[in-house]
Amino acid sequence: MISAAYVLLVYEESAARLGPEDRIEEGERLRLVDRVVRDLVVGPGAERFTGSADDAVLWTRGCFGDFEAAAEADVRGVDTLHHATALLDAMRHRARLSETELDALLERAVSLVEEGLGSEDLTRPQVRDGQVGPWDVSELARETVRADRIDLGALRIPVVPGMRIRPEGIDLPAEDGQACAVTLSLLGTFLQLQVFGTSEDIRWDRIRGELMTKLAARGGDARETVGQLGPEIRCTVPGGPSGEEPVAVRFVGCDGPGWMLRGVLTGVGAHADVLPEQARQAFLRTVVDTRHTTALPEGGLLLSWPPSSGWDETRTPLFD
């Protein structure tokens, strides 16, 4: 609610600077929002905001729907209730809102949030709908969001702020080899990605029942549901240090032309009804390339390691 109220004020001030007759593209509008925020941070009333002007711009852009900015703000530790409250207070000071006007603003913000929740936008499946991936390599011309990616042969993994990476199936630190999967560490969520060549028996809409049976055989409690990435399985299985503690695991998947991409989530992302945005974007922006791949007996496709595009561990570090 606080963030929504702040966004309303920033949007209205930027619109006021445009004037009623001005027409402006979205990129220019965001740059105007940036100027509003930078002016705000250096002006009176913003003393409680302890970050920089760049931090405020990142966080604000995230509130306006810029995923990369939101993820970077999260990595920097800017995305906090204290900072949100401080920026709202500064905007209130700038707009000279009375207590009554502030109450009315908060009521508008609540209405907007409730409207968003009621529309089910947060939970509506968005997988391979022509606007988002995961993508086949042949579809890159249709991709609406460009991303830097780590080339692992059969998979090209998007670089997400704060991400760490680990190959599965080979020892670290391996100079070269072939991995069967890759795990991404995303700020408390772990996402393991594995790609399969499809056949009559290997498709996400077919293997979920088999997976449920296997989980039950391991003593797990599994249920199938529909989330942001379509049909998924949520379960708890025995694990942890003792091997008996209940561990939450979430399975997501997607069928593409000649392949199936499966994601296994543990940590924060296995519990939340709404997926952490870093994990969601890492899955949706992944590109599958089956043109030059080697298949394992169970249908999984081997990944190349290290990445063919080279490695910059300072940007995307490995983890054990």
**Coil, strand, or helix at residue 273?**
coil
- At residue 23 the predicted structure's pLDDT band, cuts being 50, 70 and 90, is low
Identify the burial level of 282 via C-beta atoms within 10 angstroms of its C-beta, where 0-12 means exposed, 13-18 middle and 19 or more buried. Answer: buried
Residue 192 vs residues 132, 166, 262: alpha-carbon distances, Å = 20, 9, 8
d(CA 175, CA 256): 31
d(CA 289, CA 15): 44
Predicted TM-score (pTM) of the model is 0.73
Rounded to an integer, the average pLDDT of 298-307 is 86
**Coil, strand, or helix at residue 292?**
coil
Using the structure block, give the residue that is written with the tokens 């913003």: 46
pLDDT tens digits, one per residue of 147-195: 688 899 999 999 888 889 999 986 544 456 788 999 999 989 999 999 9
- At residue 301 the predicted structure's pLDDT band, cuts being 50, 70 and 90, is very high
Contact in structure between 193 and 262 (CB atoms under 8 Å): yes
- At residue 94 the predicted structure's pLDDT band, cuts being 50, 70 and 90, is confident
Contact in structure between 43 and 53 (CB atoms under 8 Å): no
pLDDT at residue 4, rounded to an integer: 82
Within a 10 A sphere around the Cβ of 239, how many other Cβ atoms? 17
Query: Hey, what amino acid is at 176?
Result: D
Rounded to an integer, the average pLDDT of 27-38 is 80
DSSP-derived letter for residue 139 is G
**Coil, strand, or helix at residue 197?**
strand
